[in-house]
Amino acid sequence: MLTAKSLFQEIIDDDESFQLFCSIAASGEAQGGWENGRIAALVPPGMRELAPKIARHGADEDKHGRIFNALLKKRGLEPVPVPSDTDYTMLLERRGIGLAHDKLRRDERLSERDIIVYLSHSRVTEQRAADQMGLLVRYFGDHPELGKAVRMIDDDESNHLAYCHEELLRLNYAGHGRLIQRTLRESALAEIQVYRDVSLAVMSHMGRILGWPRTRAAVLAAGIHAVHAYERAAGWHKMVDLEMPERRDALGTPAAPAHAF
C-alpha cells in the first residue's frame, strides 16, 4: 500500500534518491541561512532589537544545511547539483515573495516595511517547514540514521514559527495589521502554488531514479494536485492566522550546536 511513510522509506533506502533529497534540503537551508544573515546585518535602526533573533534564525538554517550534508557524508555520498525546478527558495523569489536577493546583496539598510514583509513571508514558509518536519518526526523520529537529525531540526522549526507569530503580533498591535494580513495572504497563496510545483518536480526526479511505473507516478501527482486544491480553497488560512505561541522569546538564546553531526 502506498503511504507517505512508505514513500519516504523508499527514498531514504536508495543512495541516489537519498543523495538528491538531502542535497535539495541542504541547499534550501543554506539559502535561508544566507538570507537571514543578510537581513540581520541590514535591520533598520528602529528595529535593532530583532537583529540577534534574525541572526539566530540564520544560524539555525546554516546548521540544518550542515546536518543534511553530514547525513550524506555518513553514507559516503557527496551533495549533487539541485535541479532548478526543485529550488523552492528561488521559485518563491521569482514570484516576488519575500525580499529580493538583489536587495539583500546591497549594503543599504532595510526599511520597517521590508522587515514586516520578511516576517510575514517567514511565517508562511516556516509553517510549511514545521509541518514537514513534524511528519518526518512522526515516521522517522526513532530511525537510527535520521532520528536525531529530524528531531533537532523539528525543534528549531517550531522555534522559528513561534518567533514569527510573536513578532508579527507585536507589530500588529503597533498598527501594522493591514500590511501584515495582506502580505501573509499574498505569500500563502503564492507559496502553495510553488510548493505544488516543487513537489511535482521532486517526485518526477525521484520516480526517474527509483524507476516508478507511470501508474504510480500518476497517483502521486494526483495526490499532490488534490493537496493543492484543498490548500487553495481553505488550507491556506492555517498559514495566515496569528496566535500568541506557548514558546515565548523562542529565538532569544544562542543557537544549539549540532555536535553529533
Structural domain boundaries of the chain?
4-240
pLDDT at 258 over 90: no
Confidence class for position 257, pLDDT limits 50, 70, 90: low
State the pLDDT at residue 2: 76
Contacts of 76 (CB under 8 A, 6+ apart): none
Q: Is the pLDDT of residue 259 over 70?
A: no
Grid coordinates standing for 89?
527558495
**Average pLDDT estimate for 195-222:** 96
Residue carrying the nine cell digits 500590511: 179
Please check the confidence at residue 207 and state whether its pLDDT lies above 90. Answer: yes
pLDDT at 96: 86
Fold classification of 4-240 is Ferritin (1.20.1260)
Give the pLDDT confidence score for residue 199 in this predicted structure: 97
Could you tell me the pTM of the whole model? 0.94
- Rounded to an integer, the average pLDDT of 9-16 is 96
Instruction: Tell me the average pLDDT across 92-113.
Output: 93
Q: Is the pLDDT of residue 260 over 60?
A: no
Residue 84 has pLDDT above 90, yes or no: yes
Residue 4 is predicted with a pLDDT of 85
